[in-house]
């Protein structure tokens, strides 16, 4: 449905071909009729996207992220969805299991902000002829955290307080100001609860975060990968992020509107924004009004868009010649990856994950786990190189295996890893790599921000998450593309 005067988000997940309609417009109409609230164009669009459904009426998105600048009306979206559920939404088959809605935030005070609005809305638009319902709303008013229950739908709050997030199976988890989450503690508790309820959803709202806003950063990174085609689209995740084009826009109102889509609705005062620009520290201005990460940078020699441009369906289907196997394992043997690369007929190097191995609690991986997989590959295709870092914990086992089986093992020292990293980056930038693996997508952009420093290679020692597929891919692609070993001349 066309929305007048809509400012589209700068980053957004692709629309799924499975989406046939949305429940969003029902909520927009309800809010205007029952609350007298008219959603702005950006709010209408956000509701439309996060509540898209398939031909059977099932919601597509399990996790939804919505981000705009401060005071643009993010909480109105949560307030409208919850209010509609209490009044009308519970009648729809899609939402019949949404009998519990959880408003989550870093602390109880933050979580109660939308809660109190929802309670007041409920009082304003219902006659409360049902005495039990009247008692429920009165109890919510008097205790502020006892929960609202109306038409069989209960709403309560959750925070980092011990026990407040556990023991629930909510249909909707509204996670407010995700930027405050500096670890995955609450997310780890809340996320599994979604699997117990059909059509459940976690709706995350926030402005841009800080360097330690790790949950928001993980969601932003996934959105960035999807919006640039650097990751295969997954309709169970939808992200919408309004932001200015860069940090130095000053008081360019067109740019400010890109981060603050409510600017034209009269919700935001231009004079107040001018005062913010004059007073706020640069970092605060960039985060809160431009909705950009203040520490945002791209240190890698290739962008997410360039990585996305290398996507090719079935990258190893048209291989000519022999295969190269790249192997890497974490020093603690907790996980490792085996990659396969080969030259294609079109001159590009195809690369795929053969196997990502993970240990179990108390049962780490062993060299034999990797050797068995290498043998499986060698039984099916001709292998030209098996490459791995010289510093790898696999070094002794692979060297011995190479001698016993006469396999072409290559341990790669640091100087040649640096060369391979630059070769890999150049191959991506020039579209000479072909890939289509979601696991590699998930690790490549975590690692690419670490492509800095005097050694010039992937900085996996300081990367917060393992990037074994990236390291193994780098070596496999570089060796499959051309000889990395120096030419020896005898005279």
pLDDT of residue 457: 53
pLDDT of residue 490: 47
Q: What's the rounded Cα separation, in Å, for the pair 174 and 445?
A: 28
Rg of the chain in Å (alpha carbons): 26
User: What topology does CATH give the domain 304-481?
Assistant: Nucleotidyltransferase; domain 5 (3.30.420)
pLDDT of residue 326: 95
Residue 489: is its pLDDT beyond 60? no
Q: What's the rounded Cα separation, in Å, for the pair 268 and 264?
A: 8
pLDDT of residue 161: 60
Mean pLDDT of 392-396: 89
316-366: per-residue pLDDT in tens? 998 988 999 999 998 778 899 999 999 999 999 999 999 999 988 888 899
pLDDT of residue 460: 45
- Kindly report the CATH number that applies to the domain delimited by 11-288: 3.40.50
pLDDT of residue 361: 81
Q: Is 177 in contact with 106 (CB distance < 8 Å)?
A: yes
Q: Where are the domains of the chain?
A: 11-288, 304-481
Lowest mean pLDDT among 43-47, 64-68, 118-122: 118-122
362/59: higher pLDDT: 59
Backbone angles phi, psi at 284, to 5 degrees: -65, -40
210-262: per-residue pLDDT in tens? 877 888 988 998 899 889 888 888 999 999 999 999 988 999 999 999 999 99
Backbone angles phi, psi at 411, to 5 degrees: -85, 130
Q: What percent of the chain has pLDDT over 70?
A: 82
Lowest mean pLDDT among 13-22, 115-124, 161-170, 474-483: 161-170
pLDDT of residue 169: 80
Lowest mean pLDDT among 134-143, 158-167, 194-203, 391-400: 134-143
Give the DSSP H or E segment for 327: strand 319-329
Lowest mean pLDDT among 171-185, 315-329, 453-467: 453-467
Q: What's the rounded Cα separation, in Å, for the pair 67 and 234?
A: 19
- Kindly report the number of other CB atoms within 10 A of residue 21's CB atom: 14
Lowest mean pLDDT among 97-106, 170-179, 337-346, 482-491: 482-491
pLDDT of residue 118: 76
140/379: higher pLDDT: 379
Q: Exposed (0-12), middle (13-18) or buried (19+): which is 119, by Cβ within 10 Å? A: buried
Give the model's confidence band at 133: pLDDT under 50 very low, under 70 low, under 90 confident, else very high.
Answer: low
- CA torsion, points 445, 449, 450, 453, in degrees to nearest 10? 150
* 59-68, 230-239, 362-371, range with greatest mean pLDDT: 59-68
Q: Is 131 in contact with 185 (CB distance < 8 Å)?
A: no
Q: Exposed (0-12), middle (13-18) or buried (19+): which is 68, by Cβ within 10 Å? A: buried
Give the model's confidence band at 381: pLDDT under 50 very low, under 70 low, under 90 confident, else very high.
Answer: very high
Residue 300: is its pLDDT beyond 70? no
Mean pLDDT of 472-480: 92
Task: Give, in order, the Cα–Cα distances in Å from 110 to each of 32, 105, 174, 193, 266.
Answer: 26, 6, 12, 21, 25
Q: What's the rounded Cα separation, in Å, for the pair 359 and 475?
A: 23
pLDDT of residue 108: 62
pLDDT of residue 304: 80
pLDDT of residue 486: 46
Q: What's the rounded Cα separation, in Å, for the pair 299 and 445?
A: 11
pLDDT of residue 142: 40
pLDDT of residue 167: 59
Please report which residue ranges of 449-488 form alpha helices under DSSP H: 468-481
Q: What is the mean pLDDT of the chain?
A: 83
Residue 206: is its pLDDT beyond 90? yes
Lowest mean pLDDT among 178-187, 442-451, 455-464: 455-464
pLDDT of residue 453: 35
The secondary structure of 124-151 as a DSSP string is HH----SHHHHHHHHHHHHHSSS-EEET
Residue 311: is its pLDDT beyond 80? yes
262-287: per-residue pLDDT in tens? 988 878 889 999 999 999 888 889 99
Residue 418: is its pLDDT beyond 50? yes
Which sign, positive or negative, has the C-alpha torsion 110, 257, 40, 2? negative
Classified as helix, coil or strand, 25 is helix
Give the model's confidence band at 114: pLDDT under 50 very low, under 70 low, under 90 confident, else very high.
Answer: low
278 contacts: CB under 8 Å, gap ≥ 6: none
Q: What's the rounded Cα separation, in Å, for the pair 190 and 164?
A: 10
Give the model's confidence band at 57: pLDDT under 50 very low, under 70 low, under 90 confident, else very high.
Answer: very high
């Amino acid at each position: 449905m066309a929305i007048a005067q809509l400012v589209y988000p700068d980053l957004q997940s692709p629309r799924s071909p499975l989406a046939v309609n949305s429940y969003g417009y029902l909520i927009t109409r309800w809010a205007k009729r029952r609350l007298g609230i008219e959603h702005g164009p950006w709010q209408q669009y956000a509701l439309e996207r996060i509540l898209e459904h398939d031909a059977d009426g099932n919601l597509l998105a399990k996790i939804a992220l919505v981000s705009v600048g401060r005071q643009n009306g993010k909480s109105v979206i949560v307030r409208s969805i919850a209010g509609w559920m209490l009044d009308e939404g519970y009648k729809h088959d899609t939402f019949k299991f949404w009998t519990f809605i959880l408003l989550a935030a870093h602390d109880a005070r933050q979580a109660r902000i939308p809660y109190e609005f929802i309670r007041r809305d409920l009082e304003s638009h219902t006659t409360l002829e049902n005495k039990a319902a009247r008692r429920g709303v009165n109890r919510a008013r008097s205790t502020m955290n006892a929960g609202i229950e109306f038409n069989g739908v209960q709403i309560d709050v959750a925070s980092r307080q011990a026990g407040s997030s556990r023991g629930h199976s909510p249909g909707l988890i509204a996670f407010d100001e995700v930027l405050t989450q500096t670890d995955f503690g609450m997310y780890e508790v809340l996320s599994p609860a979604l699997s117990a309820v059909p059509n459940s959803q976690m709706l995350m709202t926030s402005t841009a975060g800080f360097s330690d806003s790790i949950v928001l950063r993980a969601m932003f990174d996934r959105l960035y990968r999807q919006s640039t085609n650097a990751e295969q689209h997954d309709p169970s995740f939808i992200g919408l992020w309004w932001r200015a084009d860069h940090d130095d826009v000053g008081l360019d109102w067109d740019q400010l509107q890109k981060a603050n889509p409510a600017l034209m609705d009269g919700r935001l005062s231009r004079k107040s924004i001018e005062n913010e620009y004059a007073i706020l520290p640069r970092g605060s201005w960039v985060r809160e009004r431009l909705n950009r990460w203040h520490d945002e940078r791209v240190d890698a020699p290739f962008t997410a868009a360039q990585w996305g441009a290398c996507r090719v369906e079935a990258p190893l289907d048209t291989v000519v010649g022999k295969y190269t196997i790249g192997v890497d394992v974490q020093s603690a043997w907790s996980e490792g990856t085996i990659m396969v690369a080969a030259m294609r007929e079109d001159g590009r190097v195809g690369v795929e994950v053969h196997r990502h191995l993970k240990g179990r609690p108390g049962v780490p991986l062993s060299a034999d786990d990797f050797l068995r997989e290498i043998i499986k590959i060698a039984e099916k295709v001709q292998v030209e190189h098996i490459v791995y870092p010289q510093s790898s914990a696999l070094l002794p086992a692979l060297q011995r295996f190479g001698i016993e089986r006469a396999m072409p093992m290559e341990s790669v020292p640091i100087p040649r890893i640096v060369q391979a990293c630059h070769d890999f980056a150049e191959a991506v930038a020039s579209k000479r790599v072909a890939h289509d693996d979601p696991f590699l997508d998930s690790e490549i952009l975590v690692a690419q921000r670490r492509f800095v420093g005097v050694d010039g290679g992937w900085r996996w020692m300081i990367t917060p998450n393992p990037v074994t597929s990236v390291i193994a891919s780098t070596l496999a692609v570089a060796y499959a593309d051309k000889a990395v070993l120096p030419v020896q001349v005898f005279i």
